[in-house]
Structure 1
Amino acid sequence: MGLDGGTTVSGTLVAAARAGISVFVTGGVGGVHRGGHRTMDVSADLIDLGRAPVCCVCAGVKSILDVGRTLEVLETQGVCEAAAVAYQHSELGLESGLLLAVPIPDQYRAEGRSIQAAIEQAVSEAEQQGVSGRDVTPFILARVNELTGGASLQANIHLVENNALHGAKVAVELAKLKRNRGKRGRSEGSATRAASSEDTAQKDDPASDAGGGRGVPMDGSTHQGHIAQSYGGVGRNVADALSRLGHRPHFVSAVGRDQLGLAVIANNPHMDWRCVDRRESLCTASYAVLVDSTGSVQFGVGDMDIHEAITPELVERHRASLVSSPLVVTDANTPSPSLSAAARLCAAAGVPIWFEPTDLRKAVKSAALLTAGHQPPVLYSSPNAAELHTMLTALTPERPGAFHLLKGDQLLDACRDASLRLLEHFHCLLVTMGTNGVMISRRGGRSEPLPLGPGARALPAGGPTSCVHYPVTAASNVVNVSGAGDCFNAGFISGLLAGLAQDRCVQRGQQLALQAVACAAAVPDTLHLSDAPNPHQNPGVSRLP
């Protein structure tokens, strides 16, 4: 039509969500109009902010509107107001949008106050002259421009430029976080299951989406790629690694009587499968993940129903194995009632439990180990920073900020504070932080023996504690990181079973993690330990305040 025009925030939210754009910038958002509590004149911006999973960067609510009532509507719609949660907001799959309001720059605040005075005068004049309905906004805008001699227009231009600067920074950081989410040093999604097979399809030339990321068009077409299959799952990975190190863990799990279940048993003869329940009517757990050429995860599909077959009855059936073990390792793929059943048995026998949270959504199951109507067992846990955040929220009254998105010393300090707080419930926490290494917070000093069962007794909560950060040596050859966290845990547990000191246990864990990232399989066939001194081993650094 040859005309210039633009979309509203509402229209842009819908278009951005469909195009895969994560962040966009505007001046101010619409809201409840002056007198809107009588006329019900409310912008569609507020409704779509509660529906579209997109981050809108703005200077706040347009000042010509009823700001107070607009904020009440925003709160009702469930819109977040902090940029730090943008990545986690996306990871949690929330259906609402994210609103980030940028303060007016200091050099324009005086100008803003004079414009606000003009707005108040214009609103008063509109009421006195009986202007109502859809005529209110055009009247106020024209009158404010007149009263300020055009200064309001220039102020709005500066405001949009400032919003664009901050919005671009948010978009760049968010893109970095999304690009790196497929490169974490632990299994993701259902790669962390009791017994599973993983298929990975990788595209060499992924299509770019509108947001500048990587995407695959969902149009029913076939794409050239590479497919690899391997055995995975947190429980299976740890049992596999410990078996390769000469231990004989009793692996309690469930598989189907299908081809996949037969294959996982036949191809892992070094493992003890006697405690694994084989179900006729269920499929062995499996997970397919699509990654692009950068290693970033696009999406995954998992079939995990068989995890429900790990019942309290199955736990009870293997009571003798559990109560005679020096350590019981569980993961959050196990149903909560079964975790509680294991906790009761272990607490009575003095057998410590090692809880692996597996991912941030499942980390809340840590509560099942503590609220089963019994004295809790001695507890170890190995969360990453995001899972630590979830556990702190689930087990304490605290509602911390998104500290797992911090970097460097800020991340270390936040993880230290959170893990020390959780020592009320846990004897020892091993917090894995990717390239930032691992942090161990525990009751007692780093040189004191860690408890094993049966008959283990934890040091009381509230006594002396220690917190040690172990930096990681950068791997020279990274092929696959999906089993690194599980192999680290297996190495640490192996040292624990051998009666080694904490520092030596960490050394073993880091050895195995470096071997794991250099191999396509989650657990290398050649996995081995060397207790010779490592000249590249980073000494632990105390992080107590």
Structure 2
Amino acid sequence: MIAAHRAGIPVFVTGGIGGVHQDGENSLDISADLTELGRTPIAVVSAGVKSILDIGRTLEFLETQGVCVATYGSSKEFPAFFSPQSGFNSPHQVCNPEEAAELIASTLSLGLQSGVVFAVPIPAEQAAAGQEIEEAIQAAVEEASDKGITGRAVTPFILQKVNELTKGKSLQANIALIHNNAKVGSQIACALSKRQNEKSRSTTKRKENLDKRSNIVVIGGINVDFIAKGKTDVLLSGQTNPGSVCQSFGGVGRNIADALSRLGQNPLFISATGADSHSEAVFSYCKHMNTSGVVKLKERSTATYCAVITASGELSLGLGDMDIHQEITEQYVSQFENQLSCSTLVCLDGNLPDTTINYVCSLAEKHNINVWYEPTDSDKANKPFLSEAWKSLSFASPNLAELCTMNKTLGFPVPQALPDSLDEVLDVAMALSRPLLQHIHCLVVTLGAYGVLICGENKAGSINLHPRKWKIKRQVGALYYPALNVTAKETVNVSGAGDSLTGALIAGMLQDRDIDSCVRMGLLAARLSLASAHPIAPSLTIDAIDPKKHPNWTRPTFIKMN
């Protein structure tokens, strides 16, 4: 077993495995096979356990060691080497090599260190001789007991005595068992090899397809989120509030890549996690995404975020361990320069280090790439605006507070307090957007419960979402879209609504839809997110946010800005 495992051989064949000896509960005489099976991830094919051993306790010991045991064939009964019956059942049963291969693959894929035992009954043509041998074994066991033979001397005595009593039939049956086990084991090994080859080809093909189709790159944070939702709209400090807690997977970059992936796109997602249990959970959940750009870093912690929200879904308190995001460095991202320089769109979130954002913006300037900046929060919104990098952005999707931060960083005046009424909100949003539109093609200003304001190039009373390849002086305007009605009862959390809107809007743009369709897709995706425990609703599909299936829309309001 050890040698086969070291050589990378997943299926090992032997005659019979050892076990717990008779009176083993007192003598503790237990074959080393059993402990090795508990720490070596390999499949062992055998004829079971000789009846001179305690088969019941052997099966119990294997269970204790975490070893998966299955009978091979039409019966679930665990064989007793020379006999197909032992009086004990295996926990599992497989009927053919393909089922055995599937059990091996699924068991080993868990990453456990324990093995798998397949017990193969003696062939029918040897079963009659097997009965005679079993009777001889029982006689030999009794004689050994009468003569006071104990310890390591018992097994050699019994085997020699059985050979004498059966006149060599036990040796012939033993050879037949080895042949049968080898036949079954080789069939299982072939089935497993075929399964692995097909999976490898499928993975290679899928990777080739991913490489071909990954014309979008998303770079940003990936988090494990813990959402604690109170049962009241007012949460009291200093005491335990009634509520519920659930785990989900977030991070602004991850959310946008998730939404795009569910909407028929195939973005390359670049990020960093720790090499810990949270990371394994993230990768398992994100199987539908292209995470080949996510690096696992040893001795680092995957980002975690804990949000405490009220019954209506409003954020009361957020705590985050986000240090890992600083490891999404310019040096790491530069490994993907070919994909970046050939992409249709690169989306950045505000969790990235300033130097990484500046690097991507410099590539955008050099290769005429469209870059979308999602500021994440008002503290991080200023990162591209600390240098000339912001002038290379094509899109940004700030809320009003983040838009204030962007303007303040550039030295433009901002209001001392954010307005409350819709008219004032729209006036302030447009005033803050004007100076940024000198270089940024389009701003998607999210207004929470009020909806969204799209500011950009005035195109015949609408907004042009698609950037020109050259800079020209242009007329600018804004389109205001009210939010869709979502009741407080329907709202589960608000953490992913903005990211869902962004992802769906980008997906609509990449499908070359008109602006109304794009924004409506975004608003429908945001509504799904609000009603879901996950930042990006698992029910999000192109069909679920098809604007044609939701005809009763409030028409957007167009406003000239210059």
The verdict on a shared fold, with TM-score over 0.5 as the criterion, is: yes
Alignment partner, residue 472 of structure 1: 483
1:485 aligns with one of 494, 498, 501: 498
1:232-264 deviation line (CA, Å, top 9, x unaligned): 111000100110111110001101110001110
SS at match of 1:538: coil
Conservation of the 8 A alpha-carbon contact between 2:456 and 2:465: no
1:363 aligns with one of 374, 381, 387: 381
Alignment partner, residue 526 of structure 2: 513
* Separation in structure 2 between the aligned mates of residue 241 and residue 510 of structure 1, nearest angstrom: 13
* Separation in structure 2 between the aligned mates of residue 226 and residue 384 of structure 1, nearest angstrom: 28
Q: Could you state the TM-score of these two structures normalised by the residue count of structure 2? A: 0.57
- Residues 1-400 of structure 1: matches in 2 within 5 Å? 194-204=221-231, 214-217=235-238, 225-368=243-386, 371-372=388-389, 376-395=391-410, 397-400=411-414
SS at match of 2:560: coil
Conservation of the 8 A alpha-carbon contact between 1:287 and 1:302: yes
* Separation in structure 2 between the aligned mates of residue 423 and residue 522 of structure 1, nearest angstrom: 30
Alignment partner, residue 416 of structure 1: 430
SS at match of 2:395: strand
1:34-67 deviation line (CA, Å, top 9, x unaligned): xxxxxxxxxxxxxxxxxxxxxxxxxxxxxxxxxx
Conservation of the 8 A alpha-carbon contact between 2:259 and 2:503: yes
Change (3 A) 1:488 1:346: same
SS at match of 2:292: coil
* Separation in structure 2 between the aligned mates of residue 403 and residue 306 of structure 1, nearest angstrom: 33
Conservation of the 8 A alpha-carbon contact between 1:202 and 1:293: yes
Change (3 A) 1:318 1:472: same
Change (3 A) 1:359 1:514: same
1:418-464 deviation line (CA, Å, top 9, x unaligned): 11222113110010101211111113426565336xxx61442x421
* Separation in structure 2 between the aligned mates of residue 385 and residue 482 of structure 1, nearest angstrom: 17
Q: Could you list the runs of 5+ residues in structure 1 that have no partner in the other structure?
A: 1-191, 207-212
Residue identity opposite 1:371 in structure 2:
E
Q: Could you list the runs of 5+ residues in structure 2 that have no partner in the other structure?
A: 1-218
1:443 aligns with one of 449, 452, 457: 457
Q: Which has the larger radius of gyration?
A: 2
- Residues 448-463 of structure 1: matches in 2 within 5 Å? 449-451=464-466, 457-460=469-472, 462-463=473-474
* Structure 1 position 406, deviation (Å): 3.0
Conservation of the 8 A alpha-carbon contact between 2:262 and 2:540: yes
Conservation of the 8 A alpha-carbon contact between 1:378 and 1:457: no
Residue identity opposite 1:537 in structure 2:
W
* Separation in structure 1 between the aligned mates of residue 338 and residue 293 of structure 2, nearest angstrom: 11
Residue identity opposite 2:452 in structure 1:
V
* Separation in structure 1 between the aligned mates of residue 316 and residue 486 of structure 2, nearest angstrom: 24
* Separation in structure 2 between the aligned mates of residue 417 and residue 321 of structure 1, nearest angstrom: 36
Indicate yes or no: 2:425 matched with 1:404: no
Alignment partner, residue 431 of structure 1: 445
Identity value in percent: 33
* Structure 1 position 292, deviation (Å): 4.1
* Structure 1 position 507, deviation (Å): 1.4
Q: Could you state the TM-score of these two structures normalised by the residue count of structure 1? A: 0.58
Conservation of the 8 A alpha-carbon contact between 1:473 and 1:536: no
* Structure 1 position 403, deviation (Å): 5.2
Change (3 A) 1:204 1:480: closer
Residue identity opposite 1:216 in structure 2:
S
Conservation of the 8 A alpha-carbon contact between 1:436 and 1:472: yes
Alignment partner, residue 75 of structure 1: none
Conservation of the 8 A alpha-carbon contact between 2:313 and 2:491: no
1:208-233 deviation line (CA, Å, top 9, x unaligned): xxxxx642217xxx665421110011
* Structure 1 position 281, deviation (Å): 1.9
* Structure 1 position 282, deviation (Å): 1.0
Alignment partner, residue 49 of structure 1: none
Residue identity opposite 1:390 in structure 2:
T
Residue identity opposite 2:364 in structure 1:
C
